[in-house]
Chains A and B, each alone.
Chain A
Amino acid sequence: MPTNANNEDNVLLLAENITKRFPGTVALDNVTFDLKYGEVHGLLGQNGAGKSTLLKILYGYYKPDNGKIIIQGRETRFRNTADARKYGIILVNQEITLMPHLAVYENIALLGFLWGKAFSSFNKNNVKYQIKDLMDKYGIELNPELKVRELNAANKMLVQILAALSMNAKVILFDEPTSPMSLRETEQILDVIRSLKKSGISITFVTHKIQEAIEICDRITVLRNGKAIGTVNNSNITEKDLAEMMLGTKLKEFYLIKEDWAGNAIKERKKSEIPLIELQDVYTVPIKLTDVPLKGVNMKIYDGEVIAVFGLIGAGKSELGRLLVGLGKIIKGRILYYGKSIKIKSPTHALEKYKIAYLPEDRKTDGIIPHYSVASNISVSALFLISKAKFLLDLRREHDLATTMIRSFNIRTASPYVKITSLSGGNQQKTLVARGLASRAKLLIIDEPTVGVDIGAKIEIRKTIYKLSKEDNISVLVLTSDLDEALGIADRLYFMHEGTVLKEYIIKSDNVEDVRKKVIEDLAQVSSYI
């Protein structure tokens, strides 16, 4: 299976026997990676497999401890990223800092045309003209006058790509480019990558999505735990093979998952049962500029039910979740709590009065408390549970709570008292979900519970949510843009689009595939309006 095609003429960039150690771990262990002219070479692996580290070594951000980088047959050492850029190797990632208050063309000029020049004349019209040329050449459509802060994730990436192209990039390194994007945005980016490839640019594409790798890559190198498992040609590989290479032994679990869960009998509801929370024709106004207003949302959440709200980015899912903890402005309609109309003032009010907890989507900025230990991160929503006389912390109870949660979620941590930042992304996410469940909320709203974590952690998180919900009769509202997740975890599914609920499906063990087809049809239908 592994083919180390060392056709010298064909290889543009060769990273040979790369080893990179970080304190406590070996991030890359003797990995060899080659990139041919005009190919898309995928790097596939779970979180922590070493994909990003390898990419950063190719970009000169890290120096390898061992191994060589050979460009067009000549060994090269990058002292920093500027060196790599001189060779036309440019990294494009989600986190790169565009300047939000500047226009698209200004960003491209600063990151591209003017890069590395301390003083240089800047002819606006000339730059715009050159950008127009580039856009025509690669089939990119973007208004160069727009401010970057107004762009969506895909268009921000296009700005970076254009900047790279303006520097005559030979190799573009993509680091998980599509993870913050909706399906449509993803397609847009993949199309651009295809046209880049057509004009002879070599591309390294880091992803943890198997589907995506198959769709775009010519060759795929799979990494696992810092080791290269193998490099395969796309033409003769199946998803299952790749998943097997990526996951190792966990594969079985991955495929059994739906049967396991959907098989769980759903409690039959009496018609007379009053929902825990009911939204009646709720309209909101946006609080932030980027918010999507809700337009007539009707929804019922019963006790002990796991509900998925599925929709792409911009469907209003997060806004719905935040509304239920008092972070929204209702202009019409009402929220009922066991049939009584209520007004939720703040997350604190929601948690204390109505037992509603919310876990935000953005783990880094709104979720983890970096200086806290794992235990404190779990207990922060449950301070009333672990304190005496409302303010004296009972560290013993906190310890018990934390260790129980760490066990339930299988959080891999040296101890409950190490800082949460020492954990991997997946384990941080597990900690956050544990926080939600530790709060003894009756309704737990989780915004994208498994985004950006590897499949192993995904499975564990979903399973534990479902299990604890059923055991403790907790209602869970999962806001997700991952259809597999929605179908896998939920008893009921609401399909949201642009601030309204379009459809409601009940998911049973025997109709999962039907619902999947229907939701995909729904999605195609609403997408074709535009």
Chain B
Amino acid sequence: MSSSDSKSETVTVEKRKTQRSVLRRFLDFYNQQEIARPLIPFIVILIASITLSPQYFLSPSNLKVVLFQSAPITLLALGEGMVIIMGSIDLTPGSVAGLSALITGLVTLSTGNIVLAMTIAVLAGLAVGSINGLLVSKFKVYSFIATLAGLEIWRAVDLTITGGSPIYGLTQYSFFMNDFHTFIPLIFIIALAINLVFWYLLTRTTWGRIIYGIGSNEEAVRLAGTHADLAKFLTFAIAGLLYGLAGVMLVPTGGYVVDPWTAYGYELYAIAAAVLGGIALTGGTGHPIGPFFGALILTILTDILIIMGITQYTIQEIIIGIILIAAAPALTRGLRWVK
């Protein structure tokens, strides 16, 4: 090849590069920066919501609703997200949060001590999570099966304790809704702060490092001589703790009422928010702040549907399902098969 040939070729290649560059660079950024995965859909839905109904959506009262509703979902998605990063799945978030909410209500009623109530509720979450963790790490039960059993059992426990009747008037928990700053409720700040703490834990501790590794290639991580089983157990246990905390938060966000069906079906919200937050169902990837944005996306979506007059619960569920289907393939892209 003569030199002029090669030169002209380089020129055309350069041209092609600049033509593609904007889209390319964006896609490269999107692919390489895990934080972009939740951030971009979040910005899109935010702009869409503002455009669709600026006067309602941007009203302080509506913004406050969005923010406080996203708080428990953030914690559920955070716990679920860690488990998903590890390549497992947890179906207990809804049941555990329900149980914890119920315990909060019952202990508050009987003792009036809200600190005690919240502590017991969170510890109950930790206990259930530990059972999940033991089943998965010690007894090698598939996480899907182990937690499917939990999904049923803990909901049944709820129903048994209460006999099916709700608990009203738990207004002691209204401090959660106090405005931290104009329309930003305290509960939202707590959820965000917890997620930020877990950002640190997931990226800066050996535990966080190992769970990303387990989701990526468990066999390799084990052969590398890491404490994979311990990390697995801890992940499920901590996830349980976060569901417990979410359960406590459901007391104020649910209108100070708790019933045995509180948080029913929330495992799907947890999974949906984690996935919308860019945590791939195949494990090993996902930004630790993803659950926060995932929960916000999900809450804004529900909110804007209500603003637009689509109040039927079923239609919302269908739309969430469709979004899950749309988001999941994007995140599992590159995988040849899924089991």
Binding site for B on A (CB under 8 A): 30, 325, 346-348, 350-352, 357-360, 365-372, 376, 380-381, 383, 387, 390-393, 395, 435, 439
CB neighbours of A369 from chain B (8 A): 213, 216-217, 220-221, 284
The docked-state distance in angstroms from the alpha carbon of A380 to that of B213 is 9
* Best-buried of B215, B216, B224, B228 by chain A (most CB within 10 Å): B224
Among A358, A387, A393, contact of B223 (Cβ-Cβ < 8 Å): A358
The docked-state distance in angstroms from the alpha carbon of A391 to that of B227 is 11
CB neighbours of B205 from chain A (8 A): 387, 391-393
* Contact yes or no, B209 A325, CB < 8 A: no
- Interface 1/0 per residue, B181-220 and A, CB below 8 Å: 0000000000000000000000111110110110111011
Number of A-B residue pairs having CB atoms within 8 Å of each other in the complex: 82
Among B1, B225, B228, contact of A381 (Cβ-Cβ < 8 Å): B225
Majority secondary structure, A binding face: mixed
Q: How far is the CB of A371 from chain B (nearest CB, A)?
A: 4
Majority secondary structure, B binding face: helix
Known A-B contacts A392-B204, A393-B206; the reply to A371 vs B212 at CB < 8 A is yes
* Contact yes or no, B213 A325, CB < 8 A: no
The docked-state distance in angstroms from the alpha carbon of A348 to that of B222 is 7
Q: How far is the CB of A502 from chain B (nearest CB, A)?
A: 28
* Contact yes or no, B204 A371, CB < 8 A: no
The docked-state distance in angstroms from the alpha carbon of A359 to that of B220 is 9
Q: 21 interchain pairs (CB within 8 A)?
A: A30-B1, A348-B226, A365-B219, A366-B219, A367-B220, A367-B223, A369-B213, A369-B216, A369-B221, A370-B216, A370-B217, A371-B215, A371-B216, A380-B224, A380-B226, A381-B224, A383-B209, A383-B210, A383-B226, A387-B205, A393-B203
CB neighbours of B209 from chain A (8 A): 376, 380, 383, 393
Interface size on B, residues (CB 8 A): 25
CB neighbours of A358 from chain B (8 A): 223
* Contact yes or no, A352 B284, CB < 8 A: no
B285 at the binding interface (Cβ < 8 Å): yes
* Contact yes or no, B227 A390, CB < 8 A: no
Known A-B contacts A371-B215, A376-B209, A391-B207; the reply to A366 vs B225 at CB < 8 A is no
The docked-state distance in angstroms from the alpha carbon of A348 to that of B226 is 6
* Contact yes or no, A347 B225, CB < 8 A: yes
CB neighbours of A435 from chain B (8 A): 224
The docked-state distance in angstroms from the alpha carbon of A365 to that of B217 is 8
* Contact yes or no, A357 B225, CB < 8 A: yes
Identify the closest chain A residue to B230 (Cβ).
Answer: A348
Identify the closest chain B residue to A367 (Cβ).
Answer: B220
The docked-state distance in angstroms from the alpha carbon of A509 to that of B159 is 79
Q: How far is the CB of A107 from chain B (nearest CB, A)?
A: 19
Q: How far is the CB of B130 from chain A (nearest CB, A)?
A: 19
Identify the closest chain A residue to B24 (Cβ).
Answer: A23
The docked-state distance in angstroms from the alpha carbon of A435 to that of B207 is 18
Q: CB within 8 Å of A: which of B269-288?
A: 284-285
Among B212, B223, B284, contact of A366 (Cβ-Cβ < 8 Å): B223
The docked-state distance in angstroms from the alpha carbon of A371 to that of B334 is 13
Identify the closest chain B residue to A349 (Cβ).
Answer: B225
Q: How far is the CB of A391 from chain B (nearest CB, A)?
A: 5
Identify the closest chain A residue to B34 (Cβ).
Answer: A371
CB neighbours of A390 from chain B (8 A): 206
Q: How far is the CB of B216 from chain A (nearest CB, A)?
A: 4
CB neighbours of A381 from chain B (8 A): 224-226
Q: How far is the CB of B89 from chain A (nearest CB, A)?
A: 18
CB neighbours of A360 from chain B (8 A): 220, 223
CB neighbours of A350 from chain B (8 A): 225
5 interchain residue pairs of minimum CB distance: A351-B225, A371-B284, A371-B216, A381-B224, A383-B206
CB neighbours of B213 from chain A (8 A): 369, 372, 376, 380
CB neighbours of B217 from chain A (8 A): 365-366, 368-370
Q: CB within 8 Å of A: which of B283-298?
A: 284-285
The docked-state distance in angstroms from the alpha carbon of A371 to that of B213 is 7
CB neighbours of B225 from chain A (8 A): 325, 347-348, 350-352, 357, 381, 439
Among A325, A357, A370, A391, contact of B284 (Cβ-Cβ < 8 Å): A370
* Best-buried of B216, B225, B228, B284 by chain A (most CB within 10 Å): B225
The docked-state distance in angstroms from the alpha carbon of A439 to that of B209 is 16
Among B1, B212, B224, contact of A347 (Cβ-Cβ < 8 Å): B224
CB neighbours of B227 from chain A (8 A): 348
The docked-state distance in angstroms from the alpha carbon of A366 to that of B285 is 18
The docked-state distance in angstroms from the alpha carbon of A391 to that of B207 is 7
The docked-state distance in angstroms from the alpha carbon of A346 to that of B225 is 8
